[in-house]
Copies of this chain bind each other. A is one copy, B any other.
Amino acid sequence: MKENAVPEAVIKRLPRYYRYLDELLQKNINRISSGKLSELLGFTASQIRQDLNCFGGFGQQGYGYNVEMLYKKIGAILGLDCGYKAIIIGAGYLGHALACYGGFKKRGFSVIGIFDINSEIIGTEIGDLTVSDYSDIDSFIDEKRPDIAMLTVPKTAANDIAVHLTDKGIKALWNFAYADLSLPDDVAVENVHLSDSLMNLSYRLTDMKTKGETK
């Protein structure tokens, strides 16, 4: 029952397993070997067996893996069956996009509130949510106990808000602000630094061009 110290690299791959297993399920494929998964995912068969074995023997020699069982197991490992409730802080375009995206719901997350400080936005409707005043956040958290806060606020405001939310007991932050948050380490922070991602793309584009010239 105690599966300690799963390598970070393995965790990063789990969502990808989950997505492709979902696709297999939808095609009514209920059995798969590490070799076939390898073709599909682009990981080596060896790596796949190694990865899955971090969590226990999910397969069967001579047979392979049961797709549905594997899908459920990985979902459970990822915590997708916990029914985590999320709030969005910042109702700009990005906040809107997150509120409207259906894919999260499909993976077991629910967005139960969206907040802003702009009085022109407060009260407007986004899907089935109404934008609330951020100054009401404390009582909301006390009542509804959200698990995850999605931060789509300007980077200057991000750290103060993050500190406040974690003081109120929120243990997971999905941070879209282009800033690093300073928080106690019993808080999970996942940064989505879009500028970093774009610069990475830019590097590779530039690198390809120079290699093309050299050739």
CB distance from A75 to the nearest CB of B (A): 9
Query: Which residue of chain B is the closest to A92 with respect to CB atoms?
Result: B97
Q: Do B199 and A192 touch (CB < 8 A)?
A: no
Per-residue B-contact encoding for A75-107, CB less than 8 Å = 1, 0 else: 001111010100000001110111011011001
Do most interface residues of chain A lie in helix, strand or loop, or is the interface mixed? helix
A193 at the interface (CB under 8 A from B): yes
Q: Do A104 and B198 touch (CB < 8 A)?
A: yes
Q: How far is it, in angstroms, between the C-alpha of A199 and the C-alpha of B76 when the chains are bound?
A: 11
Q: How far is it, in angstroms, between the C-alpha of A171 and the C-alpha of B205 when the chains are bound?
A: 7
Query: Which residue of chain B is the closest to A189 with respect to CB atoms?
Result: B201
CB distance from A54 to the nearest CB of B (A): 12
Per the CB 8 Å criterion, the residue count for chain A at the interface is: 57
- Chain A residues within 8 Å of B, Cβ to Cβ: 2, 11-12, 14-16, 18-19, 77-80, 82, 84, 92-94, 96-98, 100-101, 103-104, 107, 109, 147-148, 171-174, 178, 186, 188-190, 192-209, 212, 214
Please give 19 more A-B residue pairs, beta carbons under 8 A apart, in addition to A94-B94, A98-B194, A172-B201: A15-B193, A77-B203, A78-B202, A78-B206, A79-B202, A79-B203, A79-B206, A92-B97, A92-B100, A93-B100, A96-B96, A96-B97, A103-B195, A104-B198, A173-B201, A174-B197, A188-B204, A190-B197, A190-B200
